[in-house]
Amino acid sequence: MGYKELVEALKTEGEEKIRTIRQQAETEVEAIKEKAAKKIEQIRAGHERTQSIAIKDQADAIVLEAAAEVRAIRLRAEKELSDRLYRQALSSLYLLREKRHAEAFDALVKELPHYHWEVIKVNPADVTIAKTLFPSAEIIPDPVITGGLEAMDKDGRIHIINTFEKRIERAWSEILPALIEEIEQGLQVSWNS
């Protein structure tokens, strides 16, 4: 084999080795690219899951906060409505004086336990009837009392309040739900009209 042939054979062999190395390198590059793409996809999927979970957690927190705020607003509105209705009820008690007041006053007096009452507080308009029913007691006119009476001993240790105002106060927790229901029904009727 001559010099030219040797160079040519080495050249051919070198080109073949270079081609083989290049193919191997390209194959390795493709494998690395695929591996990198899979890893990137895994990382992206992990981030998406993490992000999705974070978004869901934030959304849940926002919904819970909004629900709590709605409850607080509703409670304030119900309290305000209750207070307004209570004030309205108290301011309407004078109507009870106009209808069979003597009978109502007598019934409230009869609810008192038998005792030697020494101090009686009543509406100024009821002083005369109170003096008749409790002749030995000190009768104190109290304009805050719409109807009914307060009875006590001299020391105030035994004190019974049987006024219209106190009866409304005691019954308010039972009266209020019916009033609110009636108001809500009235609102529904007016909205549907």
At the topology level, CATH places domain 94-192 in hypothetical protein PF0899 fold (3.30.2320)
Q: What does the alpha-carbon distance between residue 75 and residue 98 come to, in Å, rounded to a whole number?
A: 36
- pTM, two decimals, is 0.62
Write out pLDDT tens, residues 39-50. 878 877 777 788
Query: Where are the domains positioned within the chain?
Result: 1-70, 94-192
Q: Is the pLDDT of residue 35 over 70?
A: yes
Dump pLDDT digits (tens) for 48-91.
Answer: 788 888 888 888 888 888 888 888 998 898 888 888 888 888 88
- 132-174 per-position pLDDT tens digit: 999 999 999 999 999 999 999 998 899 999 999 999 999 999 9
Instruction: Assess contact for 164 and 147: CB atoms under 8 A.
Output: yes
User: What is the reported pLDDT for 155?
Assistant: 87
